[in-house]
Structure 1
Amino acid sequence: MQEPAAPQASHTRPGPLQRGRTRFATALLVAAIVAVALNQRPAVVAVAPILRDLRADTGLSSALAGLLTTLPVLCFGAFAPVAPRLARRIGLETAVGLSLGLLAAGIALRLLPPVALLFAGSLVAGAAIALANVLLPAYVKREFRRPGAVMGLYSASLNIGAAAGAALTIPLAGALGVDWRWALGTWLLLALAALALWLPVAGTGRDRRTNAPLAEGEGSWSLLRQPLARQVTAYIGLQSVQFYSVAAWLPTLLADAGVPVSEGGLLLGLANVVGAVGALVAPAQAGRMRTQRPLILAVAVAYLVGLGGLLADPAGATLVWVAAFGLAQGGGFALALTLIVLRSPTPLVAARLGGVAQCLGYLLAALGPLVLGALHDGTRGWSWPLAVLLVALVPMTWAGWGAARATVLDVVPADGVTAAAPEGARTPAASADRAGPAGR
């Protein structure tokens, strides 16, 4: 096994959130993580507000326009398993920087006239975000003794980025006097700014790179032999189904119930804003708890209130139902990401588990809007689609209940080769991380 690097001198004693670095360096690193997280949704959700102008200019059919919005989510699943192997070869830090570079390239491709490049850019951007989705939680796992608070900031930033992409794309275009292409292109500046902040702050991870082949049984998919990995995967997949299904159809559902069309998009934005609160709180609490089962139940209750209200009286206390759903989806997704971190004994295992869980989870989530749309067309209403989502809360909560127990995945010792070198960190065999959340 590779010897761990010797701890370097620090001007301050390492606190619960840092591993051997000054407070200022820790603050810069957290800022860089937040900057990366803010970039992981705008390039995707910014397409919806400009879709009408896009179709009028390009002549895309409804089916192809729908594919344009679904393609990045499919990429989230398809490219997630690539992230752990990339991290092994070039280091977590460099891999995250590469994902930002790819994201910038994808956004830039969409500025060019051919329609084919619009799809190619969306594919590249989706692949880039898929890598960051997996790599950032693993990086947080490695760099912070108690990752809950940082995971909360990371998850909340995902929601804020999504809300910004949905709410600001059109106003920015209007203020700048640009067309729909440049409206999408405005988010290129955010990606470049994050890259400029990330590279000097995060380091290169050169001492943690390895080209050694994985030992027998160390592949990411082999983790699914363990019930705990299957439960984490099922939880992230089923809660993603809830979010993407409702996010796709909420404005239409409310319009059919008599809510003004102009309010549908605002209410969806409200769900994302409230979701940021849930995303900030849930991981911070999860990191302090031996078992996260109370949080699993709290998320399920919030979903029950939100979906149940939309089923029983969508035009009544609409703000309450939408806010409850937003709190559930924000807290649920953040909790799912945090479970990946807490149930993994090392950062590499977190990347492997994240790759598998997000691959299957996002592929499942991409089917949600299609299934709900088919149910709506078949039943001429929203009662059956919402009822199906309510029933799906049962297996989601069951999977979360198992994933939230106080244990970690059992992995072969060779997995610690990549994880044994952070500044001031302990080896996995000696680390208290094996016993529970982040240093307990």
Structure 2
Amino acid sequence: MAGGAARSRASALPVLALAAVVLVALNVRGPLAALPPVAVELRSDLAVSAGAVGLLTTLPVLCFGAATPFGAWVTARFGLRTAVLACLGGVLLGTLVRSAGGYPAALAGTVVLGMAITIGNIAMPVLISEDFPSAVGLVTALYAASFNVGSALTTAVTPLVAVPLGWRTATAVWAVLAVVAAVVVLRAHRRSRGGPGTAPAGSDRTGRTDRAGRAGRADGGRLDPHPVPVRRRATTWLLVAACAAQSFSYYGTTAWLPELLADRLGAGPEAAGVSAAVFQVAAVVGAFGVPAVLRATARPRVALWLVCAGWATLPLGLLLAPQLWWCWAALAGAAQGGGITVVLVSAVARGREVRAGRAGGPADVRAASALVQGGGYLAGALGPVVVGAAHDASGGWTAPLLVLLTAVAVLLATGTAGVPRREPAPV
């Protein structure tokens, strides 16, 4: 009986842990996508300008970069699972506050959302690497794909709810998703504490790394007195640049693709909505395409090159054959889903790789994830601004598309140098 109970706990853990990964991913992007579909109603109700509404969509991305040290501290101080629960609690609070009052409340709720999601951005890749050490690429792909599923779901459903109930209810209702995710995370954590062999090496049951895990051991069992800090590795900063180029391209495209199609092709609101949907939904294909490439080749750089090729089709295609916009949007959408997966998997791999005779522990993975995502999202916040400025300065869309093509070139150059040559063996 005891053996059967242990097997039951062991089989339940992956299912619950995978469900937790998906639900957390829905929460770290979905609430942000709920606002743009009701921007007109929000602007009218709060009596604010379009720029003020735009600030509500830009602030979270700025928080992803600026609040990274805070998120890393919370994760290190309280442990991975506690950090994930803090993320979900912040999402719950921020979503409700954002919908409860006037514009100051909307700003305050948006800042809370951005800071909470930053904690999740840092904690989740590390948690995935510990809970699924032999399937980091696949589970990271599931996590990245769920970003886009959450965005597409909230983008589609929010305006439908807003028609009978108003924008406040339509945006606040997504707080329920944070409660559901928190319950699943708690249950998965409780099962993992009861099951055999669930604490990762070098960490305690909450995900905090012990001193031996942080310091690491050199060959022969001796403590390595001179571990190489993640922040001092050139590959880490190359990945920061690659993540910056990926985020810049994503947010620049998301902000301006509908208006570009309207100007160049005379596309109406329906086509603009379709382009956004194609771009987001195709990301699911790209996110799962990366593990397939890794399984077939064991070479992350091959996946990166395919991502860059897909990204390049968007600016080149819109310059040379804009009437096929749906094709270019699909290819670029798959590329953006694959791009973030390559970056996250590579950050985990660089944190875990052997340096100075030791394999990196959870603290190294957390540091690599924080640096890569923090720098990347700061650059991502500049994407809409720089692309829009290029459009205003040139009076057309050729210059903005060349800006996006340059970002893809940066992704190719820095990613090729920063992404590992081969997929690391499971730890």
TM-score interval, normalised by the smaller of the two chains: 0.7 to 0.9
Unaligned 5+ segments in structure 2 are 194-203, 216-224, 353-360
CA gap 1:211/1:22 in 2 versus in 1, 3 angstroms:
closer
| Partner Cα separation in structure 2 for residue 210 and residue 317 of structure 1 | 51
Q: Tell me the CA shift for residue 266 of structure 1.
A: 1.9
Moved more, 341-350 or 322-331: 341-350
CA gap 1:61/1:437 in 2 versus in 1, 3 angstroms:
farther
1:275 alignment counterpart: 283
Cα deviation digits, residues 60-104 of structure 1 (max 9, x gap): 112211111100111111122223322222110111011101110
2:37 alignment counterpart: 49
Q: Tell me the CA shift for residue 360 of structure 1.
A: 1.1
* Alignment counterpart, residue 326 of structure 2, candidates 315, 319, 331: 319
1:133 equivalenced with 2:121 (yes/no) = yes
2:222 alignment counterpart: none
Q: Secondary structure at the match of 2:236?
A: helix
| Partner Cα separation in structure 2 for residue 372 and residue 305 of structure 1 | 17
1:343 alignment counterpart: 350
| Partner Cα separation in structure 2 for residue 24 and residue 207 of structure 1 | 19
Moved more, 379-388 or 282-291: 282-291
Normalised by the length of structure 2, the TM-score is 0.86
Normalised by the length of structure 1, the TM-score is 0.83
Residue type matched to 1:99 in 2?
C
| Partner Cα separation in structure 2 for residue 222 and residue 125 of structure 1 | 30
Q: Tell me the CA shift for residue 362 of structure 1.
A: 0.7
1:307 equivalenced with 2:315 (yes/no) = yes
Mapping of residues 413-432 of structure 1, within 5 Å: none
Residue type matched to 1:224 in 2?
R
* Alignment counterpart, residue 7 of structure 2, candidates 7, 11, 16: 11
1:61 alignment counterpart: 49
Residue type matched to 1:138 in 2?
V
1:35 equivalenced with 2:60 (yes/no) = no
Q: Tell me the CA shift for residue 391 of structure 1.
A: 2.1
Q: Tell me the CA shift for residue 244 of structure 1.
A: 0.3
1:255 alignment counterpart: 262
Q: Tell me the CA shift for residue 162 of structure 1.
A: 1.2
Q: Tell me the CA shift for residue 145 of structure 1.
A: 2.2
Q: Secondary structure at the match of 2:7?
A: coil
Q: 2:91 touches 2:113 (CA, 8 Å); kept in 1?
A: yes
Unaligned 5+ segments in structure 1 are 1-8, 13-20, 408-434
| Partner Cα separation in structure 1 for residue 425 and residue 278 of structure 2 | 32
* Alignment counterpart, residue 244 of structure 2, candidates 237, 244, 263: 237
1:171 alignment counterpart: 160
Moved more, 355-364 or 202-211: 202-211
Q: Tell me the CA shift for residue 228 of structure 1.
A: 0.7
| Partner Cα separation in structure 2 for residue 200 and residue 119 of structure 1 | 33
Q: 2:346 touches 2:420 (CA, 8 Å); kept in 1?
A: no
Mapping of residues 12-411 of structure 1, within 5 Å: 22-146=10-134, 147-174=136-163, 177-203=164-190, 206=205, 208-209=207-208, 223-257=230-264, 258-283=266-291, 285-286=293-294, 289-314=297-322, 316-345=323-352, 346-406=361-421
| Root mean square deviation of aligned Cα | 2.2
Q: 1:41 touches 1:165 (CA, 8 Å); kept in 2?
A: no
Q: 2:293 touches 2:302 (CA, 8 Å); kept in 1?
A: no
Higher normalized helix content (fraction of residues)? 2
Q: 2:308 touches 2:412 (CA, 8 Å); kept in 1?
A: yes
CA gap 1:350/1:284 in 2 versus in 1, 3 angstroms:
farther
Residue type matched to 2:138 in 1?
A
